[in-house]
Structure 1
């Protein structure tokens, strides 16, 4: 036996790498396995990262539950959007309104009616379209036809605010058979065109004036009235907003649970409304609002919202709120309800309005209710 075949002689052992190098087939199999493992691992890690990002994005969008019985949370709570979130450089309306993630902050800006003891009458209107009165206070001059033939029936005024950016919803609202009021955000585009469309279809327009909410994270939008501003800055912003379009009867507050409780600021608002002969509807986003009281002191025709109809955004709950509106109208002779241009709100109105008419209710406007109240007051004196 040769020396090399001696079983007692130790055999040289090769490491795994050396074995792979010596065998091309083994090397090929190893490389293939390594590639498959890398791809699988990469896909797993990518999936985990994507899920974490999605979760983080969902959690970053502010959401506030609406607390029942707390009026100031209603107009200050974010509403669900059915459109793609707009860039921060653009304002939003009711479909994604009051959401600080989408509304730009802009803090760059450094007797109205006839006396309540006098009778005020809205003149007869054409069969359709906006009222055509050349003289008189603006809140009557731009009023829509009342739609009321029998004043013995209870009257309901439906106000849809936060309107402006979604043209589709404006068209759906003005197509409703009964008269309503649309309250437009002053920073929306093409306002004059939207207001003309609204009035041409026999409905009424108002201006939805942005004011500071109590909740600091909620953004009322550009040129909002803020408590920290000087008196001159507040006045400048009021004038700027009031000049944003024409053809509206008055103003109601957008948010404002903080500002409407700020009497010095609201005094300025009422002074400017009085100069322009406009009415004021207090959205009543807080029980501490000074708006209605100050309006009466300044002889500004004023009313207070009775019911928010879409605190909960689904058709059954909105219909329940509308039943509350009926009860209040039956009790007091009239009721003013505020809603927003959600698809669910519009659907509920389409269902409910014909039923309310058949049940003996009138549909009219805030301006008509104020005029009719004045007529009653005059007759009873």
Structure 2
């Protein structure tokens, strides 16, 4: 038995040395630190992996790829750049020539180089790099079957449907079927209801009258420029900037020609197809950005099938509309338009046969009643001061009554739609 049995409790001295279990404490701490580090490492790996997958999926979704394992080289890119805007965004012609490479090029004249690569997890990543195109012109990326131009570009001809000729820039069908009838058209709401189209012609013949018409008429009114007018390009650009759809007014031979002469370069029955097409193209080259042509006079010419057919075929090939002013009861333009697939519209009435404000307003009311009865109606007038003032006042009131004022193309019969 211990000799210090009578010593007070707690005063007994313990032997100097290591405490029991003291050697194991640092081992336990090290194990805890190792476990925490392992957990953090796994979490970091999962986060990085998830970020890569998410990034890859997002990029790939923005640019779908047709095939895997094809190569992109500078030769293929150069070939695509030289191919023109029609190849923008399409695969290179030599894509797939090196099937063992994980890279695919979709380069073209879109202004960018598209390359697809595979990351370590096998995900496709698309990289877009700006490239220098050969002609240094801006690329206009447009969807198919588009209607109308951007307002900032409305006064400029679209290069996709333009042809440089000795007569100037003429409209043609684009490589993918684009038409001036669509691209230069003024969009409309597409809603059901009564629609009225009003065409004011003779612009360009009087500088003062042309300026007044463009400044006064609502932008929904279609303007027709006389092919033998003056300063046509300047006025055309101003009209387009103001939002108007425009037509080209071409002179055709009337029955009492030459006593009643429509003006220089009138298309006549006796001239023959070659001369008439020459005069037609000379008229077309005066301006651009029109959806179609309309006749000035032309009772005899429009009723002669042999004279009319070459002209209508040329319009069909160029993707243009024909608007008949309705002054010739014997006109064959509607028959040729249906046969050749030409967008076509015919006026229902002349609004200003009498140059008097009250008469013009009464004819406009008749036009509105016709539109409510038939769904659409087309009226034509000339750019006289009294006509412009009456049409502008009536159009603003008609819109408040629920009448939609639209351009000529919006009421045309189009075989391709």
TM-score relative to the length of structure 2: 0.57
Conservation of the 8 A alpha-carbon contact between 1:131 and 1:141: no
CA distance in 1, matches of 2:367, 2:309: 30
1:149–1:300: structure 2 CA closer, same or farther, 3 Å change rule?
Answer: closer
TM-fit CA distance, 1:165: 2.3
TM-fit CA distance, 1:223: 0.6
CA distance in 2, matches of 1:292, 1:364: 21
Note the alpha carbon deviations across 1:51-103, whole angstroms, 9 max, x for none.
xxxxxxxxxxxxxxxxxxxxxxxxxxxxxxxxxxxxxxxxxxxxxxxxxxxxx
Which among 205, 209, 213 is matched to residue 254 of structure 2?
213
Q: How does 1:1-40 map to 2 (within 5 A)?
A: none
When Rg is computed on C-alpha atoms for both structures, the one with the higher figure is 2
Conservation of the 8 A alpha-carbon contact between 2:222 and 2:247: yes
1:332–1:208: structure 2 CA closer, same or farther, 3 Å change rule?
Answer: same
Conservation of the 8 A alpha-carbon contact between 1:239 and 1:272: no
Q: Which has the higher contact order (CA 8 A, sep 6+)?
A: 1
TM-fit CA distance, 1:374: 6.7
TM-fit CA distance, 1:167: 2.2
CA distance in 2, matches of 1:127, 1:224: 33
CA distance in 1, matches of 2:181, 2:151: 20
Note the alpha carbon deviations across 1:301-355, whole angstroms, 9 max, x for none.
1111111100111000000110111011111211111000111101211221121
Task: Structure 1: give runs of 5+ residues left out of the alignment.
Answer: 1-119
TM-fit CA distance, 1:162: 1.8
Q: Which residue of 2 aligns with 1:151?
A: 191
CA distance in 2, matches of 1:123, 1:208: 22
Task: Structure 2: give runs of 5+ residues left out of the alignment.
Answer: 1-143, 161-177
Note the alpha carbon deviations across 1:238-282, whole angstroms, 9 max, x for none.
222222221111001000011111111110111111121110001
| Structure 1 moving runs of 4+ over 3 Å | 120-135
Q: Which residue of 2 aligns with 1:184?
A: 225
> How many residues were matched structurally?
254
TM-score relative to the length of structure 1: 0.62
CA distance in 2, matches of 1:128, 1:312: 38
Which among 359, 372, 396 is matched to residue 354 of structure 1?
396
Q: Which residue of 1 aligns with 2:358?
A: 316
Which among 278, 288, 291 is matched to residue 236 of structure 1?
278
Bigger shift: residues 271-280 or 225-234: 225-234
Which among 255, 273, 280 is matched to residue 315 of structure 2?
273
Q: Which residue of 1 aligns with 2:347?
A: 305
Which among 169, 172, 176 is matched to residue 209 of structure 2?
169
Which structure shows the bigger proportion of residues in strand conformation?
A: 2
CA distance in 2, matches of 1:158, 1:220: 22
CA distance in 1, matches of 2:415, 2:303: 27
CA distance in 1, matches of 2:151, 2:236: 19
CA distance in 2, matches of 1:343, 1:129: 29
1:333–1:122: structure 2 CA closer, same or farther, 3 Å change rule?
Answer: farther
Structure 2 residue matching 1:350: 3-state secondary structure = helix
Q: Is it true that 1:249 corresponds to 2:291 in the alignment?
A: yes
